[in-house]
Amino acid sequence: MVVCLFTGFASGLPLYLLIQLVPGWLRNNGVDLSTIGLFGIILFSYNWKFVWSPLMERYTPPFLGKRKGWMILTQVPLIALTSLLIVLQPSSQIGLIAMVVGAIGFFSASQDIVLDAYRRELLTDDEMGMGTSIFVNAYKFSSLIPGGLSLIIADWFSWEWAIGTAVIFLFVGLITTLIINELPKSGYQPVTIQEAVIDPFKEFFNRNGWREAALVLLFLVLYKLGDNMAVALETPFFFDMGFNGTEIGTVAKLSKLWASIIGTAIGGIIMIRLGINKALWIFGFFQIGTILGYAVLAQVGNNIWVLFAAVSMEYLGVGLGTVGVLSYMSKLTSRKFTATQFALLSSIATIPRTFAGATTGFIIEAVGYFSFFVICFCCAIPGMLLLLKVAPWNGKRDDE
């Protein structure tokens, strides 16, 4: 459980740096929303990590073992590339910044591959719920650094200091890697590229048939689509509502933290009591409703109490939905093909985040914030309808 705590923090920090700190940094330096939104395309690595995950399963680095070796090979470049952002200027080097951000996204996604595989192999089936909950809470907690502490530091000192602070916390992952033990080799070790690349996908699609597999993948795309759209450009949204960096870094980010922690904790309890299927229904209805809190904030404007309430409710829904989807994906993953199948499922699940980041800037500039959040609400409905097929309310519990 301690390993889940620190690896969750290490996994979440680079992502929140890219989706919270970087957009705020760019917006505060005069970059338009459409350009900031296009940075979402640069994060395509999260959607395509299943392409190179078989190579990380097939080959073992010449030091520290398969899992720890790949952790080091992803974490060192993350630290170096993020440090490079300190010396770049958004006003004149936006192209170079885009390249660096894209590289950070690639190594962050690659780190996720190995951390997800390590967690799946570390935990027994009866530990999965608790381990996932702790991992998700730590993942969300990491957002306080780039999305909270760094914004406050930028408000009082400079953006260089803000990014430097995030770099310091990236060392948490590296230190964790050096301390934890390499896991014993699993019973199945691919020895050819075909076994590493073809067999995991073949097993997944043949397990319950291609039609069922396709519905599952479509569900993973649509279930959190509205939610991901709503929070894609929330830091620029808060700035545009007239809040300063200190207010965003304290009120907004702290309310995110407590709401996410409570959401994942409640989510874990509900799944134990009701099973994953019924939990996904409850979580889905809740996260749809909480999107409208941001619509209210867009109407009210600069009101610190409405900010606190809207963010708290939104991230309570985010916490519930996240732990539900992660547990659902873990259940679908074969221990024989841990890294590749989890990479496939999580890649599909992150498509809405990339889509949201790339398009929301244009939508907001076209219709305004209030109408945009109403659109987010509507986009969340198809995912709920797919639950009728992939996780029916009266379907068997996952422990039956």
Question: DSSP string covering 141-191, please?
Answer: HTTHIIIIIHHHHHHHS-HHHHHHHHHHHHHHHHHHHHHSPPPPPPS----
- 396 domain-assigned: no
What is the pLDDT at residue 191? 64
Output the DSSP codes for 77-132. Answer: HHHHHHHHGGG--TTT-HHHHHHHHHHHHHHHHHHHHHHHHHHHHHS-GGGHHHHH
Task: Find where tokens 């067999």 sit.
Answer: 199
pLDDT in tens, 34-61: 777 777 676 777 777 777 877 787 778 8
What is the pLDDT at residue 399? 44
- 395 domain-assigned: no
Q: What is the band of 80 on the pLDDT scale with cuts at 50, 70, 90?
A: very high
What is the pLDDT at residue 28? 78
pLDDT in tens, 252-264: 777 877 787 788 7
Q: 269 is in which domain, residue-wise? A: 2-390
Q: Which residues contact 194 (CB under 8 A, 6 or more apart)?
A: none
Q: What is the band of 335 on the pLDDT scale with cuts at 50, 70, 90?
A: low
Q: Which residues contact 146 (CB under 8 A, 6 or more apart)?
A: 13, 16, 17, 20, 21, 166
Please state the rounded mean pLDDT for residues 267-274.
76
Q: Which residues contact 274 (CB under 8 A, 6 or more apart)?
A: 282, 397
Q: Quick one: CA dihedral 154, 158, 162, 163, positive or negative?
A: positive
- 397 domain-assigned: no
- 281 domain-assigned: yes
- 258 domain-assigned: yes
What is the pLDDT at residue 397? 46
Asked whether residue 354 carries a pLDDT value surpassing 70, the answer given is no
Asked whether residue 138 carries a pLDDT value surpassing 70, the answer given is yes
Q: Which tokens sit at 350?
A: 């992150």
CATH number at residue 327: 1.20.1250.20
Averaged pLDDT of the chain:
81
Please state the rounded mean pLDDT for residues 130-150.
80
What is the pLDDT at residue 73? 93
Total domain count, the chain: 1
Pick the residue with more confidence: 75 or 327? 75
Q: What is the band of 189 on the pLDDT scale with cuts at 50, 70, 90?
A: low
- 184 domain-assigned: yes
Task: Please give the share of the chain, as a percent, with pLDDT higher than 90.
Answer: 10
Please state the rounded mean pLDDT for residues 221-225.
84
318 near 229, Cβ under 8 Å?
no
- 109 domain-assigned: yes
- 125 domain-assigned: yes
